[in-house]
């Protein structure tokens, strides 16, 4: 990625639905031809079983954002509480000095809440990488199943 001057927008890793297999979700904003080259390069890596790329319309995705705002913002009425409700966010933790708010959604939604909260002050803000599930049946599961069948046929 660095050699090709490609900026990774988001990188998320997690267990997959198959025991012992982990999944990486890498978000980049480049032309499709470049993505195809990246996928081919990733598949050449020793520990990579298979790599796929998807367009936005092929996935369901979300990000999670946490906001730490001053407790005093809530002392002056219900404006902040209304703001939290309007953005479908929720309060995770209340401490004497601050409140932690959680918002799950697309980047534009988490960014909109950040901008709205700036009026009361934001001590900290953090956003996760994208978590995604493919709309069609997961190709990796089918690929791994085919490998298992080939292995059992070879025995």
Total domain count for the chain?
Answer: 1
Domain that holds residue 72: 60-127
Q: CATH number for the domain including 119? A: 3.30.70.1150
Q: Does the residue 93 lie in any domain?
A: yes
pLDDT in tens, 56-86: 888 999 999 999 999 988 876 668 888 999 9
Residue 76 phi, psi (nearest 5): -105, 35
How far is residue 41's CA from residue 4's CA, in Å, rounded to a whole number? 12
Query: What are the pLDDT digits (tens) for 21-54?
Result: 888 999 998 898 999 989 998 888 878 888 888 8
Q: Is residue 113 part of a domain?
A: yes
Strand partners, 92: none
Query: Is residue 33 assigned to a domain?
Result: no
Rounding to the nearest 10 degrees, give the CA dihedral for residues 144, 147, 151, 154: 160
């Amino acid at each position: 990625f660095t050699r090709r001057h490609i900026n990774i927008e988001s990188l998320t890793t997690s267990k997959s639905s198959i025991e012992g297999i982990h999944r990486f979700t890498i978000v980049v904003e480049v032309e499709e031809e470049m993505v195809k080259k990246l996928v081919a390069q990733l598949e050449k890596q020793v520990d990579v079983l298979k790599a796929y790329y998807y367009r936005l319309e092929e996935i369901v995705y979300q990000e999670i954002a946490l906001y730490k705002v001053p407790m005093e913002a809530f002392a002056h009425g219900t404006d902040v509480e209304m703001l939290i409700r309007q953005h479908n966010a929720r309060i995770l933790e209340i401490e004497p000095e601050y409140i932690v708010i959680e918002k799950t959604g697309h980047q534009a939604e988490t960014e909109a809440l950040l901008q709205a909260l700036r009026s009361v002050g934001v001590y900290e803000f953090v956003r996760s990488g994208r978590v995604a599930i493919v709309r069609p049946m997961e190709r990796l599961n089918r690929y791994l199943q085919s490998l298992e069948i080939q292995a059992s046929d070879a025995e």
